[in-house]
Chains A and B, each alone.
Chain A
Amino acid sequence: MMHRKKLVFTFLAVFMLGSTLGIIIPKDAAALDESYFKGKKMTFLVPFKPGGGFDTYARLLSPYIKKYLPVRNVIVKNEPAGGGLAAMNRLARSKPDGRTVMIIQTGAAVINELAEVKGIRYQSGKFTWLARVTSSPNVLVSNPKSTLKTMGDLQSLNREVAIASIGRDFSTITAILMLKAFDIPYRTVMGYSGSGEQIMAVIRGDADVCALSISTLKPSIDAGELHGIMVLGKMETDMSKFSEEADRLNISEKNRTMLGSLAGILDIYRSIAASPGLSPELARIMRTAFEKAFTDPDFLASAKKSNRPVHYLNGEETQRLVETAVENFKNDASFMKMVKDIFGGAY
């Protein structure tokens, strides 16, 4: 009898000890906080070359990520191959351990995915979006010396409107979609190497229009070198300078929806995402840290100094906006057709 009691006792003791130990010794998922990042290295992917806008934001932000997460180091890694698509593939296949983040040109990511460009191995909606960096309304501009001052003027032009473009980059697509929404025939003058050359092309009269982000164009518009025809996307500055023609020209509901979706994407122009499949706790920790970084007054001051506006939006909202945008576009048959036409055969 004593022998059996001892056995049971021992068994119970071992069982309880084991369970207690099991609770005390932390498993990763169980007791997760910032200390998870202690001593780890974080890679910050940038889909463009050093010195550009995306790269600058990443470099400005890195010290503040280090401030709010005990990472050993934040390394900015530029990977411009494929116009940034290679970097997005890399993010998609990275381990969901929170150690890889990327600043993404959301519009390009979504559009290329919808166009099913060969070689794409990511899905925008599946990334764990951590924050929005900037929204960037785009402006369709023309030469002030030309007669093209409104969308109506473009419509009544009895030839194709020439768009100065780099290639199949997002600014070109925005310009094309803006024109298509108003049923304006267009052709592209493709091959320019950067926004500067696109602007020169319009000023010189080699092309009729181009569409670029408002921060890029504002200096030229203010100086009177360019005339703003239409703005797409939400703006924080005064809109009275630019004409809003949608109502006046009675564009169709379908096209209105499409422009709305496009504006939605421009609203999250630059955003930061982490690997897909991140656990909710990890996502929460990272989003909180990024929120603190983005609202840090020193960060905001240095961003201002570098002439880089910041429009922070939290991770959950950004995630929702991306997923909604993808959904909206997928359900918009005419938009999908337009995208396939623009990209068709090229890849």
Chain B
Amino acid sequence: MIEAWVSGFTSVFAPSALFLLLIGTGIGYAIGFIPGLAGAFALAMLIPFAISMESAHAVVFLLAAHAVVMTGGSLSAILFNAPGTGANVPASWDGYPMTRMGQGGRAIAAAATASAIGGVVSGFVLMGLIPVVRAILLAFGPPEFFMLSVMAYSFVASVTGRYPFKALAAVFFGLLLSTIGTDPALAIPRFTFGTFYLWEGVDLIPLVMGLFAVSEMIKLAISKKGIVSGGVQIGRDVFQGVKETFQKWFLVLRCSGIASVIGIIPGLGAELATFMCYGHALQSSKTPEKFGKGAIEGVIGAEAGNNGKEGGSLLTTLAFGVPGSSSMAILLGFFITMGIIPSPEMLKEHLPLIFSMAWVIIIANVLGACISIFAGRYMAKISAIRAPLLVSVLLVVTVIGGAASNNNLGDIGTTFLFGFIGYQMDKFGYSKAAFIVGFVLGKITEKNLFISIQIYQGAGFLLRPLTIILAIIAIAAFAWPIISQKMKKNRENNEK
């Protein structure tokens, strides 16, 4: 095992591999930075280049690019409230307010450091969990996935904000929208109003671009303000961001751990991991009321979660040939070409190879963080460009980002429509965070619920031991905010 570990490490440092690692990291980062160009899209764009390389090099190149797409995406999420992917959304919830206060550099650095640590942890998780991954995957089925997604709803209780009932309405609104599309039970197109466009439902990227980025740009345009009013020394607090992340190392580790475990489970989605980590950061914080206004823990938690799930996701893809996401599906194709046939045997026979993949992830993440930290100082200054120029260009860029993935009229309409809706939701106090949670989780919950019912031909799936354990944890997760509030009140009363 140790030899495999070492030989994996050294093979990554071969000059050609290292070179491609660098290039892949740079390109993946850049694509991630462009709002709306999500992970799988980035890989799909890189396929033509990867094809012209030797297989082993292609894997290093693609893996490195894939590892840092999130890191790049967090930059545009923090600076412009324009998340690169759905999983970058929570980073914007605290990162963007920080940018508005002129602390963009600090936010970027914290995000980068947390991402790097998350990615490193996930690389080691990949290496460490190889012996047990098969057992885990066989034990976790749709009933457990269903319970996990139910658990994630507890997060909503923490983000209700000022108007709890409006937040609840927002969650149900998100859930309702998630039901648009082909239903999982009978494959019937639902609420599609006669269009083919809605067969797959409302697409996440245009929705997120519109809801957060476009609405924000309109807000700035109406108030004739820029993102940051000048005068503040922007970008000087970069190293402070790094330092603070290391100070909160335990939070980073916990979130990376949560994300790694979720990453192992295919089909749960990157967004789930990030939301749960943000929620965990919120619930474990001593100052939860600061979240949403620029709490650095929010940025740290979300970003650690982001990159933390990569190792687990890769492990599942290698162990079973079951890609956890569309990006993994692309990578899988290249693995097979290289002669890496995913199977438990392969995990034993090609250990050095798997370790070198883990090292690629680790090194790419560190590199990506370095790019963020050193470029962050200057990138943060972009946020201070005067409003007419910045807001106008960003408005255009975010609309294009929303529409670019699928390139159809429907997505363009969605982006604009949700720009309008997002603004109104802010104006009247409906929590966009709650809405997004409902939207993202709705599909996962319904799908796994129905699959479970079909497998067991009834509700018998609820009696699975693992499902029961998860249900108990879910109840605890829901109850915790209420209990801790009561405990807090009791403490305050006793002190009086």
Contact = CB atoms under 8 A, between A and B. Distances in A.
B141 A206 contact: yes
Interface stretch (A177-185, A189-197, A245-253): A189-197
Contact of A191 (B43, B137, B266, B454): B454
Nearest to B342: A219
Nearest to B187: A167
B48 interface: yes
Contact of A86 (B197, B320, B323): B197
Interface string B330-349: 10011011000111111000
A308 to B, nearest CB: 8
Given A56-B47, A197-B267, A307-B333, A50 B322 contact: no
Contact of A223 (B40, B189, B196, B343): B343
The residue among A51, A85, A206, A207 with the most chain B CB atoms within 10 A of its own CB is: A51
Given A78-B407, A190-B186, A191-B454, A197 B333 contact: no
A302 B58 CA distance: 13
A162 B452 CA distance: 13
A200 B345 contact: no
A196 to B, nearest CB: 4
A162 B342 CA distance: 25
Interface in A163-184: 166-168
Nearest to A85: B196
A305 B43 CA distance: 17
Contacts of A85: 196
Contacts of A56: 47, 333
Interface string B437-467: 0000000000110110011000000000000
A305 B408 contact: no
B475 interface: no
A283 B336 CA distance: 36
A197 B266 CA distance: 8
B326 interface: yes
B419 to A, nearest CB: 22
Given A196-B266, A197-B267, A223-B341, A50 B138 contact: no
A48 B343 CA distance: 27
Interface in A194-238: 194, 196-197, 199-200, 203-204, 206-207, 219-220, 222-225
B185 A190 contact: yes
Nearest to A86: B196
Give the secondary structure class of B's interface. Answer: helix
A193 B267 contact: yes
Contacts of B329: 51-52, 194, 196
Given A50-B44, A52-B329, A207 B320 contact: no
Nearest to B340: A219
A203 B138 contact: yes
B199 A82 contact: yes
Given A59-B48, A81-B408, A346-B188, A189 B454 contact: yes
A81 B451 contact: no
B449 to A, nearest CB: 9
A200 B137 contact: yes
A158 B91 CA distance: 54
A208 to B, nearest CB: 11
Contacts of A307: 333-334, 336-337
B200 interface: yes
B182 interface: yes
Interface string B36-79: 00001101110110011001000000000000000000000000
20 contacts: A50-B40, A50-B44, A51-B47, A56-B47, A79-B406, A79-B408, A85-B196, A166-B187, A192-B451, A197-B267, A203-B320, A206-B141, A206-B142, A222-B341, A223-B344, A223-B345, A225-B343, A302-B52, A305-B51, A306-B47
Given A220-B320, A225-B343, 18 more contacts: A50-B40, A51-B40, A51-B47, A52-B326, A81-B197, A81-B199, A81-B410, A166-B187, A190-B184, A191-B447, A191-B448, A191-B450, A220-B343, A222-B341, A223-B344, A225-B320, A305-B337, A307-B333
Interface of A: 49-52, 55-56, 59-60, 77-83, 85-86, 89, 119, 162, 166-168, 187-194, 196-197, 199-200, 203-204, 206-207, 219-220, 222-225, 302, 305-307, 346-347
Nearest 7 A/B pairs, CB to CB: A82-B196, A191-B184, A167-B187, A223-B343, A50-B44, A196-B322, A51-B44
